[in-house]
Structures are given as structure tokens and as C-alpha cells.
Amino acid sequence: MTPSLFSTISFPRKAILFYLQLGFLWLKFNCVWKFFRFLALLDGFDVPEDMRRCFSNTVSIQEFWRDWHASFNLWIVRYMYIPMGGNRMKHLNIFPIFFFIAIWHDIELRLIHWAGIICIFFLVELLFTHVLFCQGAPLTLMLARRPLLWRHLRTLGACVMMLQLAIVNLVGFSIGLGGAKQNLREMWMESPLSFRLLMLFYFYLAASIAIQARDQEKFEEQQRRIKYGLVSARDGTSELVSAAAVDGSG
């Protein structure tokens, strides 16, 4: 589709095309990696999975970057993240890491914008998680006693993360910062209310499925630990509750 033709279509159609473009980006990388991973397995090499989850199946920015290009993330953690201080300096070392990743892709202004926006969103998530959802905090304990409210808040947080990731990846890998500003303006001023509500409802459903999948994974992991005697059944249940309580972003 030519830019002149693209500019004439309505925003709802643009939004669907943007979403499909991001989905295609993930699918392309995933298929390429799985093909060559299959060849490596035939040759006796067990290389790690790479594109483990799509952007619409994530519950936090931190989790997204652990799963997107997961093999590259292992290299980043070993040779950049840990030498720069690891978790102790997480709020600072994300800046050189993401700007390095931007330049690693290509030296373009839109990728520099992408890295800066990612770092801002990342800092907000770290601050939000640290202040409101640290283990033992009164708010965390109160929400742990209200599982339904806690689940809806986690889902809402994951929904916000998905929207942020969709926007920032469009900035970096599709329409740039100027295009993102223009289309966000169109979304709130020109698109019908029904479309905006439907879009939010879709992301909320996707976030609900992602939350359910993470809870199921944690439960199955805990059951395996209990089965093989790594923890007692009582300790396993306590750890499962604690893990859900401190997982503020998802």
C-alpha cells in the first residue's frame, strides 16, 4: 500500500493494519528462528528459543524483553547488564542497553526515539512495582486478601503495557515518532467511540488470557517442585501466593 493511499483510509483500518504489521514482525522472526533452531537440533545443538511470546501476550515490559529475542537477551544480560551492576543498578543500566540495541538495529532517529520511550516506560514500571507492590507492603497485603480485585488490577496493568508496547514498537519499526503522534491524535479525535471501546476491550481480553497463562505456569512449576521434594506442599502454596502478590506488573 502506497503512503498516499494509506493516508486516505479511516483510522480504524489503519489501527488494524498497524496491529497486523506488528504481529507479522513477530511471526517472521519466530518462523525464521524456529527453522534454523530445527536445523541446529538435527545437528545436535540445543539452542534456546528466541521469540517466546508476542507483544499481545505479555504482562509487563520486563517480561516482554526477556521473551522477545530471548537468545539475544541472554547475551545482553551476560555481557552488559551484569557487568554494569545487574539488579542493583537496573534503573540506570537500561539506558545504555536500550540505546545500544537501537544502534545495533540501525542508526536511525526513529530507533533512538524508540529506545528513549522504552526506557521511560520501563522506569515508570520499575517505580510503580517498587513503591506499590513490594513484598510486605500494606497495599500488597490488602490486595492479596481480595483476589478478584487483585486480578482485575493485574489485568488492567497488563492491558496498559500491551498498548504501550504496541505504540513504542510502531515508533521504532514502522511509522516513527511523528507518525505515531498523528495517528494517536486521529484515534482520540476522529475514530468513533465504539472503535475505541472495542480496542480497549480487545486488549483487556488479551491481558486476561496472558494473566491466566502466567498463573497456570507458576502453578505447574510449583507442583513440579512439590512433586520432586524441592519444597513442601505448605511452603509451595505460600510461595505461590507471595509470587502473585509481588508481581505488580502482571
Q: Which residues are catalytic?
A: 105
- Among residues 75, 31, 57, 47, which one has the least CA distance to residue 203? 57
Instruction: Mark 86-101 as b/e (b = at least 16 C-beta within 10 Å).
Output: eeeebeebbbebbbeb
- Among residues 244, 246, 249, which one has the least CA distance to residue 148? 244
DSSP label at 133? S
Q: Quick one: how far is CA 227 from the chain centroid? A: 31
- Among residues 202, 190, 176, 160, which one has the least CA distance to residue 58? 160
What is the C-alpha separation between 207 and 139, in angstroms, rounded? 22
Distances (CA, A) of 224 to 59, 219, 230, 231: 23, 9, 8, 9
Q: Quick one: how far is CA 60 from the chain centroid? A: 5
DSSP label at 84? T
